[in-house]
């Protein structure tokens, strides 16, 4: 992924559109860079239901609810840490939404009180398909957290 995507995403997120328009365009830009059968989206925490709900995304239909601690998304939320899974077959409790996904990266979005309000989730159709892009994806996660998603 070319580092110039950061400037394009900053321009998009600082632009005039509403939240959903900006976030969907941002995810479309990332997905275009990562290629066919990648998946780029958000899981958003519902504090009433105590689950992460599927939020805006670009890619194939995906699992709609993930409990904290479950799957890669839930593990990321519990640990409040970025996780990279180069081979999804080796992650205990991995939740498969699309059999084509082979590697996955997740970034917690944390509010000013230290609560995880969402998880930025990227799937790639190749094993270890995201390693070289992790620093850029982390920067993108920080930009998304910065616009306030709730
Ligand atoms: N694989 C994830 C589920 C979400 S999808 O990747 C879109 C997990 O194990 O939490």
How many CB atoms lie under 10 A from the CB of residue 13?
18
Q: Cα of 66 to ligand 1 centre, how many Å?
A: 8
pTM value?
Answer: 0.96
pLDDT at 2: 92
Q: Please give the CATH topology (third level) of the domain spanning 38-124.
A: Beta-Lactamase (3.30.450)
Q: Cα of 149 to ligand 1 centre, how many Å?
A: 20
Binding pocket residue ranges, ligand 1, CB within 6 Å: 39, 62-63, 66, 71-73, 94-95, 97, 101, 104, 121, 123
- For the segment 96-137, what is each residue's pLDDT rounded down to a tens digit? 999 999 999 999 999 989 999 999 999 999 999 999 999 999
Q: Give the list of residues 6+ apart from residue 119 with CB closer than 8 angstroms, or none.
A: 42, 43, 52, 73, 76, 77, 106, 107, 108, 109
Confidence of residue 150 (pLDDT cuts 50, 70, 90): low
- For the segment 42-91, what is each residue's pLDDT rounded down to a tens digit? 999 999 999 999 999 999 999 999 999 999 999 999 999 999 999 999 99
Q: Is 135 helix (H, G, I), strand (E, B) or coil?
A: helix
- Ligand 1, residue 43: give the atom nearest the CA: 4
How many CB atoms lie under 10 A from the CB of residue 36?
9
> 4 vs 10, 128, 150, CA distance in Å?
10, 22, 27
């Amino acid at each position: 992924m070319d580092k110039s995507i950061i400037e394009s995403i900053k321009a998009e997120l600082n632009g005039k559109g509403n939240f959903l328009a900006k976030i969907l365009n941002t995810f479309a830009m990332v997905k275009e860079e990562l290629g066919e059968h990648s998946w780029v989206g958000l899981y958003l925490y519902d504090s009433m239901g105590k689950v992460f709900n599927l939020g805006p995304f670009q890619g194939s239909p995906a699992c709609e609810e993930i409990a904290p601690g479950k799957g890669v998304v839930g593990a990321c939320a519990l640990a409040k840490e970025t996780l990279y899974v180069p081979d999804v077959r080796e992650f205990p409790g991995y939740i498969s939404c699309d059999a084509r996904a082979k590697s996955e990266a997740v970034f917690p979005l944390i509010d000013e009180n230290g609560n995880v309000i969402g998880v930025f989730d990227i799937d790639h159709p190749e094993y270890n398909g995201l390693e070289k892009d992790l620093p850029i994806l982390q920067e993108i996660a920080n930009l998304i957290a910065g616009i306030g998603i709730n």
